[in-house]
């Protein structure tokens, strides 16, 4: 959708309040119910529905009544919320022309109050040109449900963090200024994409500089993963600047070597095609030694010695185990890493086995105690002899009501003990499954009637 900011100046505070209410409702709703929007916005009676009608006219929200009456934000409405926040912060106060478009973003010029030109990048994941986010990005991680606005926000936050960290470490990247929602504001690069350049004065030097950036990134623990002629800017003085960072991964990633070799191959292939810079790769066998002889760096020859940006930025592929290994390396304990980890695993396994054994012994003691109670109660029940006398020789009349009540209580106690014993055995064998207290209820019909009759029969 084309960004038209002309209607932004005519929106009131109530309009942005309702837009924010829809955004808050989309945290746990794909389509936000109209009643929930009204409750979150907190406007006077009927005011929310009037504002929603105005937002629909400007295509800032989308109405869906297939299942229930609800609304969701469009990318244009999300753009307005981000731009309004950045304008209130004083980052810029004017939006200009569109200067670039990609498979997952749109790029616009913005101007500050003193006339400085900046760049605003709006991430737009979910468009037809790029929908394979789940297979090509790690934004989702363990999540199953998502919406495109949330994924665009994650991509913007990740790019802003990488850009700011790389700029602090001296890499030629744009200056990261601010970020809000799916919008990233950066400095304007005075140059052209390398794909638009037809001629260079110092081709070898530019190629060496670009390849050196890939190697330097790997030394800091990062791989660009999309380092090609579209993401490299070059000015009139042939100064190189790299852009586009949401897809960067750690050198500890399982596919790090493949991504590194792909970046190098893209650069050499472009220079060979555009600038006729030929390198001899037909005679070699494709090994890493042959690649180094031809000036192509190999992934195994790069030492991660310049820093740990992948740890600081939690890049994809950098796990908690890698962080522990780094800390042990800094402390000088790399030789004992495997031994320590194995000892910890054995200790945890021993604790788990001890707890399991204690649980089994406890259940066995419970069984023995119930067996003793059963034997004791059975002796009390059968303690009377055939003449109706107990062990003390006292005659027990058969029509005694107290005896009847005692026998009934003994029978109930015996049944209860047997029932407890069966439960303990089932728990010990791991075959007991606790059901809900409403599990006995059937959903009507003959089965419900039969279950009711069965329960009454069990009482008798």
pLDDT band at 141 (very low <50, low <70, confident <90, very high): low
* Residues assigned a catalytic role: 226
Highest mean pLDDT out of 257-271, 295-309, 406-420 = 257-271
- Please tell me which residue, 377 or 315, carries the higher pLDDT value: 315
pLDDT digits (tens, 9 = 90+) for 36-88: 999 999 998 778 999 999 999 999 999 998 888 899 999 999 999 999 999 99
pLDDT digits (tens, 9 = 90+) for 219-246: 988 999 889 999 999 999 999 999 998 8
Residue 282 confidence (pLDDT) above 50: no
Report the candidate in 147, 149, 151 with the shortest Cα–Cα distance to residue 159. 151
Residue 89 confidence (pLDDT) above 90: yes
Q: What CA–CA distance (Å, rounded) separates 424 from 203?
A: 81
Highest mean pLDDT out of 93-107, 130-144, 387-401, 438-452 = 93-107
Q: Helix 320-331 vs helix 337-381: angle between axes, to the nearest 10 degrees? A: 120
Residues 194, 229 contacting (CB under 8 angstroms): yes
Which CATH code is given to the segment(s) 192-332? 1.10.510.10
Instruction: Give the pLDDT score at 189.
Output: 93
Instruction: Give the pLDDT score at 216.
Output: 92
Long-range contacts of 197-205 (CB under 8 A, 24+ apart): 197/234, 197/274, 198/274, 199/275, 200/238, 200/275, 201/238, 202/238, 203/271, 203/275, 203/277, 204/277, 205/238
Report the candidate in 39, 155, 20, 151 with the shortest Cα–Cα distance to residue 82. 20
Query: Which DSSP state fits 311?
Result: H
**CATH architecture, domain 90-188:** 2-Layer Sandwich (3.30)
- Please tell me which residue, 213 or 377, carries the higher pLDDT value: 213
Query: Which DSSP state fits 240?
Result: E
pLDDT band at 183 (very low <50, low <70, confident <90, very high): very high
* CATH 3.30.43.10 describes domain 1-88: no
Asked whether the whole model's pTM tops 0.75, one would answer: no
- Please tell me which residue, 140 or 296, carries the higher pLDDT value: 296
Instruction: Give the pLDDT score at 1.
Output: 60
Q: What CA–CA distance (Å, rounded) separates 256 from 223?
A: 7
Instruction: Give the pLDDT score at 181.
Output: 94
**Residue 51: which residues within 8 A CB-CB, separation 6 or more?**
14, 15, 17, 18, 41, 43
Residue ranges of domains in the chain: 1-88, 90-188, 192-332, 339-372+417-430
pLDDT band at 269 (very low <50, low <70, confident <90, very high): very high
Assess whether the region 1-88 and the region 192-332 belong to the same CATH fold: no
């Amino acid at each position: 959708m084309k960004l038209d900011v002309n209607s932004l100046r005519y929106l009131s505070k109530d309009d942005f309040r309702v837009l924010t209410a829809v955004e808050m409702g989309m945290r746990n709703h794909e389509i936000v119910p109209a009643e929930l929007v009204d409750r979150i916005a907190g406007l006077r009676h009927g005011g929310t529905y009037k504002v929603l009608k105005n937002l629909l006219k400007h295509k800032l929200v989308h109405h869906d009544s297939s299942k229930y009456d609800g609304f969701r934000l469009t990318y244009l409405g999300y753009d307005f919320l981000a731009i309004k926040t950045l304008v209130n912060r004083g980052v810029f106060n004017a939006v200009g022309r569109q200067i670039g478009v990609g498979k997952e973003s749109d790029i616009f010029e913005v101007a500050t109050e003193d006339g400085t030109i900046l760049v605003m990048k709006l991430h737009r994941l979910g468009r037809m040109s790029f929908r394979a986010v789940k297979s090509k990005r790690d934004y989702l991680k363990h999540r199953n449900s998502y919406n495109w606005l949330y994924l665009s926000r994650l991509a913007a936050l990740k790019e802003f963090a990488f850009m700011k960290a790389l700029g602090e470490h001296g890499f030629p990247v744009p200056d990261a200024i601010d970020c809000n929602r799916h919008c990233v504001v950066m400095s304007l690069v005075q140059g052209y994409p390398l794909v638009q350049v037809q001629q260079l004065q110092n081709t070898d030097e530019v190629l060496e500089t670009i390849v050196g950036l890939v190697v330097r990134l790997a030394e800091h623990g990062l791989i660009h993963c999309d380092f090609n002629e579209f993401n490299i800017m070059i000015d009139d003085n042939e100064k190189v600047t790299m852009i586009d960072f949401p897809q960067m991964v750690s050198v500890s990633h399982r596919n790090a070597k493949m991504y590194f070799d792909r970046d190098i191959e893209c650069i050499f292939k472009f220079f060979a095609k555009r600038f006729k810079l030929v390198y001899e790769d037909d005679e070699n066998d494709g090994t890493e030694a042959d690649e180094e002889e031809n000036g192509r760096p190999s992934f195994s020859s790069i030492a991660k010695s310049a820093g740990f940006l992948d740890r600081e930025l939690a890049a994809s592929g950098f796990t908690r185990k890698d962080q522990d290994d780094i800390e042990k390396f800094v402390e000088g304990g790399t030789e004992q890493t495997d031994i320590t980890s194995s000892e910890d695993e054995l200790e945890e396994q021993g604790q788990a086995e001890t707890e399991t054994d204690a649980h089994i012994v406890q259940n066995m003691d419970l069984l023995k105690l119930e067996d003793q109670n059963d034997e004791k109660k059975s002796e009390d029940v059968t303690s009377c002899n055939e003449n109706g006398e107990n062990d003390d020789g006292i005659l027990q009349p058969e029509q005694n009501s107290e005896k009847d009540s005692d026998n009934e209580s003994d029978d109930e106690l015996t049944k209860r003990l047997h029932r407890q014993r069966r439960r303990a055995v089932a728990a010990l064998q791991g075959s007991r499954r606790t059901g809900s207290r409403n599990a006995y209820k059937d959903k009507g019909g003959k089965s419900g009637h039969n279950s009711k009759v069965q329960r009454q029969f069990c009482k008798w």
